[in-house]
Chain A
Amino acid sequence: MRRSRAASLAAIGAVATLVLAACGGGGGEDGDASEGGIYQDCKANPNTCNAVPAAQMQQGGTLTFAIEKNVPNWNVNSSEGNVFETGMTVKTFLPWTFTTTPDLKQVLNENVLVSADQTSTSPQTIVYKIRPEAVWNDGTPITADDFVFQWKTMNGKDCPECAAAQNAGYNQVESITGSDGGKTVTVVFGTPYADWKNLFASGTPLYPAHLAAQQGDLNTPAGLKAAWDWFGATVPTYSGGPYQVSDWQDNVALTLVPNQKWYGAAKPTLQQLILRVITEASQEPIALQNDEVQVIYPQPQVDLVQQVQNIPGVSQYQGLGLTWEHLDLNLRNEYLADEPLRDAIFAATNVQSIIDSTVGQFNEEVTPLKSHMFVPGIEGYEDYLPPEQGSGDVELARQILTEAGYTNIAEGQQLTRPDGRAVPPLRIRYTVGNAIRQTTVELIQSQVRPLGLNLEIVPTDDLGGTTDSGDYDLIVFAWVQTPASFSNAEQTWNSTSSSNYGEYNNPEVDRLMHEAATSTDLGPARDKLNEAGRILAEDSYVLPLYQKPTIIAAQDEVANARNNSSLDGPTYNIEEWGLRAAG
């Protein structure tokens, strides 16, 4: 009898624990996450918030940062290795020329370079001066050879089978020569390239050419390819950055220790830096709460943000990034080829209500984006979108259609073109499993319904294949900007570009974008890009929705780690990361 009662009590106790645990969420309401904590001044000072002087930092210790994907290929310049998480990872041990700071400005990496200047505009010539003390961890100087290796492997000509992530810019370089013992690098362009700061920059860092030369003759395509593949497949022991790899457990964690030959001004204070692979974002706050990781950088979602806010001793900050969502129309569709219908769809779409129902749930600062060419924060951003686009003005949309000769413009009817043909249901697509995009397309569907326009929601599990084949009528997805957006714009909107999925074609826009991308004077180049954007907007091809927020969350003992919404991510200043001294 006694045993039976004990078992019952145990059962009740177990259930009660589970239920209480479920209700409590673990954190309590005294969490200091959202407003205060170590990120309280990030809004005002995005580049310097959570800055702690070296004297106030603990010497030694281990810090673990969660990354959401494995590193399947160590060559971040290759198409396979060109993944955001790999980019953040290799920034711990590779050198580069320019960095994007949290305020989205491109700045010189002064650890590596003394200067990088455009010394001539015809032919466009850039001279990089590498710091004399900049060396790889085996003592070999970082020189022009490293620049040449990257140029040859990425220009698409010297190594056609290298499968580089991108050729842009590298394919316009005419020559690269080293002087001053290789510490001065002179790059001469065949055709001018406005985005020259993107070359050899944080997105495409330098790899050691002297190790590449051990894999094959770098004057032959085969030798270059062998070196290229070797960098992809080999766990790096080389380093030209503040840390070097001490251990790699595939799919689990990268362990780094300070590079003893690091030449930068800020020396790492940590004894060990660990990048832990956590592929399930929803598990990251729990690991943070249990002190298994100290910094996380997941995609923000309502639940996740709330979860983080409830953890005591953890701070979080959300920034607005370079990734932006948009609604695209496919001009190959004969109905959408008619501009008044496109104008009406964009007028009826209410971007603010889409934001309010999605990302606005956890970030009040997200506002409708008003440009295709730049995002706010980047030099050149102009709010040029016609005010009616994205306004949700159904009456105006009806008026546009009426004036164009459309009939049956009402909910429950089938919108009919001036030539008498009814507009059939159009397919709107989004990536399956993306709850935010699902809500977005559902809202768009309901917002255009009063026009007599029916949208059929068809998710896709192959976004790349869907866009590439143009298998959609309307689609919602995202593009990523870079602070230097000139070639990016051409890549996205040019009538002959493979990324121009909806087959937009306007020779005037092509001309303006090309002039901007080949300009050596950035001021007028930005003006041209905005002019192109205005025409693009008037043609109602793509409706920008909003900049996607990013979130960093860290334990309050973490120093110098801060949000960076660019493709650099928070590891842009990894050498400064550390732990605050106790007390």
Chain B
Amino acid sequence: MNLDMTMFHQAFFEEAGDLLADLEGLLLRLEEDPGDLELLNTIFRCAHSIKGGSATFGFTDIAHFTHGLETLLDKVRNGEIKIDRSLSQVLFESLDQMKALLSVARGESASAPDSSALSARIEAAILGQPAIVAAQPTLPKQKAAEEEGWGVWSLAHTYRLYFAPGPDILRQGGDPLLLLGQLGKVSDILSIVCDDSRLPALADMDPEACYLSWEVELRSDKTSEEILEIFEFVADDSEIRLEVTSETRSPAAAAPAAPMEAAPPAAEPVAEVPAAEPTPAMAPPAALPVEAAAKAAPPAEAQTLRVATDKVDKLINLVGELVINQSMLNEVVQDFSMAKLPRLIEAVAEMERASRELQERVMAVRMLPIKHAFGRFPRLVRDLAATVGKKIELKTSGEDTELDKGMIESIADPLTHLVRNSIDHGLETPEERRAAGKPEQGTVSLHALHEGGSIAVEVSDDGRGLSRERILKKAIERGWVTENDTPSDETLYNFIFMPGFSTAPAVTDLSGRGVGMDIVKQGVQALGGSITLTSTPGVGTTFRIRLPLTMAILEGLSLTVGNETYILPLTSIVESIQPAAGDVRKIAGRTEIALVRGEVLPVVRLYQVFGSSPKVTDPTQGLLVIVENDNHKVALLVDELIGQSQVVIKSLETNYRKVRGIAGATIMGDGRVALILDVPGLVRDTLSESAALAAAA
């Protein structure tokens, strides 16, 4: 029998990836607490599981490399080798090497760095133990087994079972006799002996307690697990011993392959379900700049989703409720009379509740705790701190805040940039901090929290804060403000999100690189989010990213033009005003502009864009909603605003075709369709029109 091992590769990759992620956290903790035996055991098990899996599935490079590491870790946990700084470094480098090797195995990268130098250091660390060279004792055996196909067990065992139930078994409604009867169903009982030696004198006897125990000889082709399963409910309180006394192997069976040691159970049970590529239901609310084109998540990540079983349980429960509701409804409408009206109303209400909850829960299936995005930072901060010679503590909080898996993957890069920025520009050197009367160790904090229908992630440092004069100087250089302007802090700070802004005196290895905060801002906007910052000189800086929980739901403002309702993404709205007469005028008789607090903004009459008949054509009677994209603002003329709501985004493109000025559609409570406005598109079109008009003028 030839088992195609490749079918398990995906599962192995995921498992190994998880183990490596765990290992990183564990190694970081080990630096804090090198004597923690439990930690060392866990670390050893991680390496051991990776080795076992990689050997089983034929990734010899990984198995080969990890074998040495496992030997080393075994010695460390047995106290034969002490953990010191240099050994810790070897462990971290080994972790990176395993990641690189895994990436090659996944087909994500063509080659990994050569392991031999690192392996030699591991060997050296094992300290004169006979070096373990290429021939790995476990591998040939595994290979042979694979070539032969996996052995098929067809065994009959003879077992001896000792069963001494706890004294309370009867009080818990258990019945030893019933269990022994069950035993007879899965095996041939050869002999059974009851031991009544523990029975006390009649006067002392508690008639409800169990004093008996049994010794049973049995023969069965079941495994010991299968036999012990009978005693599942009483195992904790009883003494149960099951030993194999003999086994007769059918000669045809091949040698069983060395079973792969199961990985330590995940902290939470997970069910794997295939997940479609995260396709946002609409074009993201802002154009993706070419440089920041979201790096496609590696395919392996996108295909499966690990969902906590309790989430799935709840879905199953809800679907069950819906099915029952359905039959209740059927039954009510079968031969309907007005007498049944209350029951109908009740059934419909019940159905509404269940389906609303189902919608929320289904959304939640794609949600993961943000710790998946935070996970990379402890290591990043550790390495960067060493590079820049600063002392840094990383604090994270709110790691359990959940958001969409796709969001987590997309937000990791902007967050990384912000953390690097805090370390590089925000925090001072230990000397500077001492001089300023601060503790030498700076702090970078990551904090996530839910805010209504969105999530906020804050990256803060307790460093020097932003320098007003340096930003102002830069802004004047760039011509964003004049010498005489005194912009507010907020306006000034926001200049750091402008393309081409960088206050770093020298381009450092960390964040200079000519890629600035503008890319972070564009990345965040592409996800339908926004970024703001607050800063206090000498105290620190906090960047705050606000994101929708999922790409499929949009916080919008609904407005009307004529009989149509449109939705504007909330993140793109600056303000809305009712202009006074004279604030809106035509330049050169063509381009219409609005004067808003000294700013000149092009006006877009939405009814002209969509060819509808509006209630309002005079701007002073309607409203101007000012929207912004990519630092350009335009004013949209609408009849009136209705209110704020969360809408589920449906793609217009897949259901109809692409329409200029429209990003998607949604279905409102009354069943009507409302179109979602494409702000980036509207802004772009308006600017190019104005430019064309200006050129023609």
Q: Do A and B come from one complex?
A: no
Using a CB–CB cutoff of 8 Å, the interface residues on chain A facing chain B are none
